[in-house]
Structure 1
Amino acid sequence: MERRAFAEIRTAGRRIEGYAATFGTEARIGTFVETIAPGAFKGALGGDVLALLDHDQSKVLGRTRSGTLRLTEDARGLAFSLDLPDTQAGRDVLALARRGDLGGMSFGFTVPKGGESWQGEHRTLRTVGLREISVVQAWPAYPDTEIALRNLHNGADALRRHRVLVLAEVSK
């Protein structure tokens, strides 16, 4: 599963709202640039999508199946509205959101066969299998670069391992 991050959150009572993803925004992922095409989430909106804290499956904040998470796709991107639970994680998110201390939003996804297109080093996501959106407490980042590189090189394991080692060295 891949993850991407964006920063836009508003509060309204015990609800937070914003965009988990925006269309046409370029993101540099390792050696390539990625954008999300309008309509990429359309097929995923009918499924059961979780709202998590920091991609942690043990910290569920809501889900579409229960109606506590609502997702819509508009001209700008993937909009969300999340009713926060009265749990420690929910109270923490609400307090941080009100203070403006949250890092942003992120989403976890898979790309079905034919769901992406490439032009050189530019990847366009046309269809994604949305699994979850996450409230990110610290810095929204692209933590799964290694997975993205694996997708880019389709089985070039030695090259992928080399790039992961290079990225690890650079981050030190």
Structure 2
Amino acid sequence: MNGDTERRFTRGLVEVRAAGDTRTIGGYAAKFNTLSRNLGGFVERIDPGFFSKSEGDGWPEAMARYNHDDSRLLGTSDAGTLRLQTDGTGLDYSVDVPHSREDVYELVQRGDVRRSSFAFYTFEDDWSMTDQGFPVRTLLSGSLVDVAPVNTPAYLDTSTGLRSLAERAGAALEEVRAASAAGDLKQFLDAPAAPAVIDLAASRDTTKTSAPEGGQGDTHPPLALRQRRAELYRRRTF
């Protein structure tokens, strides 16, 4: 699992929801298979299975917080005051706003707060190209941290996504960041991978156990082989 928390915003509206005498607000915190706006040379889409683990585990420790602010807690999944579910559209949430946060309820009711956001960790992603030849990152699996009605969208830190692309391409992170700033990430997806060359005869010869002097044997495998090893390691880890 990547250790960095990411945040994304949805075009869906947060709204007041009828729930008897309870002050309830909600909306879609995330929408599936919808391309995001340009995040710095690439766009994102969320796979419908992205929240499967969190949902299967009962949304452990998920929270609703106004503007993702720790001091403006609205509800939690553990207490049942935050309810989450996925459908064909995306991740939907409903939260019962406490009396101490009545100002948030009123702001949503008046339309001053109109957007939703969610914070998450990424377990697995993938990179490809849109039909128009633009880099797209697909979020395949992850863990939900919180959902939030927001009126002050924070800066979208895309460093985690760029680091993922750098690992995939076997490139230096600074090189990928520079390409992102120049709007030229396509180069890391266009270039064909070098063919992996594996000497099967050598791998079967168990008598060759000594490494070259000053080294440890296979210290510089082909790029494609190194990428494949890294991918297999990531998949085993998750």
TM-score by length of 2: 0.61
Structure 1: gaps of 5 or more residues: 168-172
Q: How far off is 1:82 after superposition?
A: 0.5
Cα pair 1:102 1:136 within 8 Å, conserved? yes
Give the partner amino acid of 1:156.
A
Cα pair 1:29 1:148 within 8 Å, conserved? no
Residue in 2 that maps onto 1:84: 97
Q: How far off is 1:161 after superposition?
A: 5.9
Q: Which has a greater percent of strand?
A: 1
Higher relative contact order (CA 8 A, sep 6+): 1
Aligned length: 162
Larger Cα Rg: Structure 1 or Structure 2?
A: 2
Q: How far off is 1:69 after superposition?
A: 0.3
* 2:174 aligned to which of 158, 165, 169: 158
> Is residue 15 of structure 1 aligned with residue 19 of structure 2?
no
Structure 2: gaps of 5 or more residues: 130-134, 184-238
Cα distance in 1 for partners of 2:173, 2:127 equals: 20
Residue in 2 that maps onto 1:170: none
The alpha-carbon distance between structure 1 residues 37 and 50, as it changes in their structure 2 partners (threshold 3 A), is: same
The alpha-carbon distance between structure 1 residues 97 and 40, as it changes in their structure 2 partners (threshold 3 A), is: same
CA RMSD of aligned residues (A): 2.3
Cα distance in 1 for partners of 2:88, 2:79 equals: 26
Q: How far off is 1:148 after superposition?
A: 3.1
Q: Which has a greater percent of helix?
A: 2
Give the partner amino acid of 1:63.
T
* 1:146 aligned to which of 146, 153, 159: 159
Q: How far off is 1:74 after superposition?
A: 0.5
> Is residue 2 of structure 1 aligned with residue 15 of structure 2?
no
SS at match of 2:70: strand
The alpha-carbon distance between structure 1 residues 24 and 141, as it changes in their structure 2 partners (threshold 3 A), is: farther
Residue in 2 that maps onto 1:42: 52
